[in-house]
Structure 1
Amino acid sequence: MSKTGILILTNPARVGKLLPVIKNHVLKTLYIQYYPDKTSLSSNLSVTSLKWQKPHQSNFISSIYAMATSMATTIDVRVLITNIKNSLINTKKPIELVIFDKNYSKDEANSFIKNYLNNSTKNCQYIAIVDTDDEETNNIPEKSTNELDKNADKIYENVVLGGTFDRLHNGHKILLTEAIIRCKNKLTIGVTDESMIRSKILWELIEPVENRIDNVKNFIQDIDSTLTYEIVAISDVYGPTKIDPNMNMIVVSEETEKGAIKINELRKNNNLNVLDVCTVKLANDEHHDDHEEAKISSSNQRIRLLGSRLKEPDLHDKSLKPYIVGLTGGIASGKSSVATKLQSLGAGVVHCDKLAHDLYEPGKKCFNIIIDIFGSKILTKDGKIDRKILGNIVFNDKEQLDKLNNIVWPAILELAIEEIKNLHDKGCDIIVMEAAVLIQAKWQFACHEIWTCIVPHNEAVKRLIERNCLTNDEAESRISVQPSNVQQVNEATVVFSTIWSHDVTLEQVTKAWNDLNNFINEKKINCN
């Protein structure tokens, strides 16, 4: 298979039949260049400008991206819309394979690769994928949205749009393409910074704004290098639109159309021209599950990352037996339920919280030390440590909490290591060390990799109040002394979220378990 290919498309009606075949030939990136069906390859480029000349044609491009979402999910599809200058097709990535939707002679195909591809590999190959049942038509679908109005084919000097643009997907590509086709001179793109993303699902998994800006820049310069682009981080819904008098039109999706209304109200109040608004219809995600959104979205992509390996663990020279997974997460994040599911799949499990509970019992290692430091006021009538009284002391005083942790944490780790050895001796090769304090206690060194559970802050508070019979303030104080979800995610190889049903959590856990076993097996093979 080739990493990068380009489809020279003469007939838009063929795309739906071509994509399922092309994914067997192209591994990573597929460029698509529309090439109106004329007499021959050589005469075509010399007489035809291949830019999409009319905005209503963007409906065809949208349909390509929508089909790619369902038919070629692993391929980065990029529909080229730039003007061909000096009869050259220029792409950022070198083309390894050219795909024609018609049969051409060998001389014609090789001549095309040599003369019209500005960035192809030395060994660039070509194939033809021809559908004999295809109707020979070059009709490009018209807009089926409310865009068929007096501005449907209007081109603007300066266009603007904004968004999160997390893990650039085909829905983003539809929006960006619409803006580029509408734009004659300068396109301004606002990318939301961290202050604007905290209400989104699994926002902790959203890429840093610098990465998102780079990904947008790479894509738009690749599909059309003729425009001037300004891409900026924004911390409010207005972005550059509140001050720029030169903007003419804004592109929004159906769900952000109200934002365009707010922007125009502000511009009117600031004596700036009101922007024309282009509303783009949302593309459906044909493969979404019940707990996902029906549209193509970054939220769905983040949900699908749960249970996946986000990065390679740094194993150093650690032995693969036993393989220790540190399972952590904030209080009430569902760690115990994940640990139980992993145990049912075959993992040995060490519950560090249970080990900690035992350390507080009379006669245990930490009991007398804790009494000496915190006094008899923390004892119940029968001489046991009242964990709620002790909790009220330490969770309201960081110095007192640090004292307790310095006593308990080393003792917990010592017992956990003993338990891991015992489980390994009994035949467990993969052992999960469930530890709420793993990150704070800096126990990463004792694990091969870290898996973490996260839930939204409000959900954690709700669960803690219900489970521990706490007040809202008490729940907040316990959560506040823990690492944030972002800190937890930054340390993690795999992330889970238990905010949906047990079945959804089980899917995440099963995926992580299977991927881990495959990873370990590959490591063993490479070591032999």
Structure 2
Amino acid sequence: MYQTGLLVLTRPFANLRQNIPSMLQQVEKLVENTLYIHIQPTTQTSTSKPHDIFKLRHVSCSTDFRSVMREFYSTSASICTHLDVRILLGHVTKHQNNELWETGYNLKKSCDIVLFDDEKYVSKDKNLQNQLADYLVQNFKMKSIPNFDILKESAQDNLLHDVDSTQGEMLNLYDYVCLGGTFDRLHVGHKMMLGEACLLCKSCLTCGVTEQNMNKKKTLLELIQPIDERISVVVNFIEDVKPTIKHKVVPISDMFGPTITDPDLQCIVLSPETQKGGGIINQEREKKGMQKLDEYVIEIVEDICHNEYEEMKVSSSSLRKRILGTLIKPVVQKDDIPSVPYLIGVTGSVCSGKSSICKRLEGLGATLVNCDLLGHKVYVKGMLAYDKLIEEFGREIIGEDGEINRKALGEIVFSNPEKLNFLNNTVWPEIRRLAKEEIIQHKSEGKKVIVLEAALLLEAGWDDLVHEVWTAIIPRDEAIKRMIDRNRFSETEAAKRVDSQMSNEERWQKSNVVLCSLWEYEYTQQQVEKAWQLLQKRCSL
């Protein structure tokens, strides 16, 4: 398998559209990571001779080109989901005299293989191969040409090969185009939107990327990539596919961004979901005396791989759901922990579903060490922590049975950070000691996988006891709701408990695997089972 490939397409548009699935099926067996696609079709017919396409400037800003680009992106969403497909557009920019011209690409990744779609142009003829090599060196800034390969023609290819092709209608191009979005985990829907914007743009593309306050209603917002990372990915894509235009990729804190401050903007690219927002933007521009933006709405890409818990369209929220249960952060080897038994720390905020997750892991074959239950033991009369807590908080925390009343203690510490810190420093070392004793016992019994369930695993620093950290996350509002329902707390009291703990963002950034119990019980179980299966594979358990 090659990491990066360049696919050069020269067949007429009609032929290309018909054979996109078969071409991608061949390519996905050869290329593993990134696929660049350069489209430069001919207009040959059955009666004409093959053109020397490498001296032509034939590709234009046409509806046919746009149709082929859309088809490649949408088809790649089902055939080669592992590939980062990028349709190159730098060759469709115009001179001031309206003549088409080409410019050298500066691809972010060097190509390992060049794939060519038509044996009529590249065969055993060394002159044609040399011509192609010169073309690629000039237009793709390749220092050397990697291996050539020619896609095999099917019976359908042969039938449609000699088809007269027209360019379709010319697109209305703009000097200044804009669009906006979250652009989390850049997918084919984003690429189609950015690709269309680049295709329409002659001079400068402005792109707004939503800041976190605009993402509060997003599914699994905790897993949204940092804004600097999202901006960098968008810049990388634009510079890759169309290096001839300038770009302004900026963070936006509201739906308007630069659209109501930049009078030069002429066109806005929208999705069906944001089309209404385009109308609101134009209303604001009119109020400010600016020219209305032409609204260009793209199609939604259907996700034929979605399950019942995901959206029917290709979306970032579905992609975030798909990483639940997978390894999101490499496991760092800890030489001070024996490889057997394999230790997993399961943590999460209050009411995040840790217990349900651990119970399922136990059913799959893991051995459970419940630090929350061990925490109850350290409060018992006669334990070291018992006397220290009474000395600090007074005898009012003692219940009628002579034991510490944890509810009364909680009311004190969760409204006083200093007292909470004292409590933690008192009980955490004792819980750790008891947990290590249980781990040693299970190891002597030959247990292979041990799960350390601990709400405060990261806060207490117990992650140094385990090989991997698995975190259960739940939105703050849902955690508060669950606490009110389960513990009969007031909203204020529940909020104090939730806010006294580490945030979801802090937790998952220190975790190897993330799980979420926001949806149906069955979906949480599916995540756990996926995580368990992947664990077995990577650890050969």
**Same fold by TM-score greater than 0.5:** yes
Amino acid at match of 1:8: V
Q: In structure 2, do the counterparts of structure 1 residues 266 and 354 end up closer, same or farther at CA, with 3 Å as the change threshold?
A: same
What is the 5 A alignment of 1:119-134? 119-120=141-142, 121-134=144-157
How far residue 364 of structure 1 moved from its aligned partner, in angstroms, is 3.0
1:74 aligns with 2:82: yes
Amino acid at match of 2:7: L
Q: Deviations over 1:477-497 (max 9, x none)?
A: 100100110000110111000
Amino acid at match of 2:80: A
How far residue 59 of structure 1 moved from its aligned partner, in angstroms, is 3.0
Return the match for 1:448 from 455, 461, 467.
Answer: 467
Q: Deviations over 1:469-515 (max 9, x none)?
A: 11111110100100110000110111000112222222211222222
Would you say the 8 A contact 1:6–1:30 is kept in 2? Answer: yes
Q: Which sections of structure 2, spanning at least 5 residues, go unmatched?
A: 93-100
What is the 5 A alignment of 1:167-316? 167-316=185-334
Q: TM-score, structure 1 length as denominator?
A: 0.92
1:457 aligns with 2:476: yes
How far residue 357 of structure 1 moved from its aligned partner, in angstroms, is 1.1
Return the match for 2:38 from 33, 39, 63.
Answer: 33
Would you say the 8 A contact 2:324–2:514 is kept in 1? Answer: yes
Would you say the 8 A contact 2:175–2:203 is kept in 1? Answer: yes
Look up the match of 2:5: 5
Q: In structure 2, do the counterparts of structure 1 residues 127 and 17 end up closer, same or farther at CA, with 3 Å as the change threshold?
A: same
Q: In structure 2, do the counterparts of structure 1 residues 113 and 83 end up closer, same or farther at CA, with 3 Å as the change threshold?
A: same
Amino acid at match of 1:206: I
Whole-Å separation in 1 of the counterparts to 2:474 and 2:413? 24
1:321 aligns with 2:340: yes
Whole-Å separation in 2 of the counterparts to 1:401 and 1:307? 32
Q: Which deviates the most, 304-313 or 29-38?
A: 29-38
Would you say the 8 A contact 2:114–2:147 is kept in 1? Answer: yes
Would you say the 8 A contact 2:105–2:243 is kept in 1? Answer: no
Would you say the 8 A contact 2:35–2:86 is kept in 1? Answer: yes
1:21 aligns with 2:26: yes
Look up the match of 2:97: none
Q: Which sections of structure 1, spanning at least 5 residues, go unmatched?
A: 144-151, 523-528
What is the 5 A alignment of 1:343-492? 343-492=362-511
How far residue 520 of structure 1 moved from its aligned partner, in angstroms, is 2.3
Would you say the 8 A contact 2:57–2:102 is kept in 1? Answer: no
Whole-Å separation in 1 of the counterparts to 2:394 and 2:275? 62
Would you say the 8 A contact 1:60–1:140 is kept in 2? Answer: no
Amino acid at match of 2:153: V
Whole-Å separation in 1 of the counterparts to 2:428 and 2:103? 68
Q: In structure 2, do the counterparts of structure 1 residues 126 and 475 end up closer, same or farther at CA, with 3 Å as the change threshold?
A: same
Q: Which deviates the most, 459-468 or 98-107?
A: 98-107
Q: In structure 2, do the counterparts of structure 1 residues 284 and 86 end up closer, same or farther at CA, with 3 Å as the change threshold?
A: closer
Would you say the 8 A contact 1:455–1:498 is kept in 2? Answer: yes
Q: Deviations over 1:60-87 (max 9, x none)?
A: 3112111101000101111112217568
Whole-Å separation in 1 of the counterparts to 2:422 and 2:104? 70
Whole-Å separation in 1 of the counterparts to 2:168 and 2:528? 45
Q: Per the alignment, in what secondary structure is the counterpart of residue 255 of structure 1?
A: coil
How far residue 385 of structure 1 moved from its aligned partner, in angstroms, is 2.0
How far residue 140 of structure 1 moved from its aligned partner, in angstroms, is 8.3
How far residue 56 of structure 1 moved from its aligned partner, in angstroms, is 6.4
Corresponding residue pairs, total: 513
How far residue 210 of structure 1 moved from its aligned partner, in angstroms, is 1.0
Whole-Å separation in 1 of the counterparts to 2:2 and 2:467? 34
Q: Per the alignment, in what secondary structure is the counterpart of residue 15 of structure 1?
A: helix
Q: In structure 2, do the counterparts of structure 1 residues 86 and 269 end up closer, same or farther at CA, with 3 Å as the change threshold?
A: closer
How far residue 100 of structure 1 moved from its aligned partner, in angstroms, is 2.5
Q: In structure 2, do the counterparts of structure 1 residues 285 and 86 end up closer, same or farther at CA, with 3 Å as the change threshold?
A: closer
Whole-Å separation in 2 of the counterparts to 1:113 and 1:395? 71
Q: In structure 2, do the counterparts of structure 1 residues 142 and 414 end up closer, same or farther at CA, with 3 Å as the change threshold?
A: farther
Q: Deviations over 1:135-181 (max 9, x none)?
A: 234668989xxxxxxxx932111000011111111000000011111
Query: RMSD between aligned alpha carbons?
Result: 2.2
Amino acid at match of 2:497: R
Whole-Å separation in 1 of the counterparts to 2:289 and 2:105? 43
Look up the match of 2:56: 47
How far residue 386 of structure 1 moved from its aligned partner, in angstroms, is 1.9
Amino acid at match of 1:132: A
Q: Which deviates the most, 31-40 or 243-252?
A: 31-40
Amino acid at match of 2:81: T
Amino acid at match of 1:281: E
Whole-Å separation in 1 of the counterparts to 2:49 and 2:149? 16
1:335 aligns with 2:335: no
Whole-Å separation in 2 of the counterparts to 1:42 and 1:317? 64
Q: Per the alignment, in what secondary structure is the counterpart of residue 196 of structure 2?
A: helix
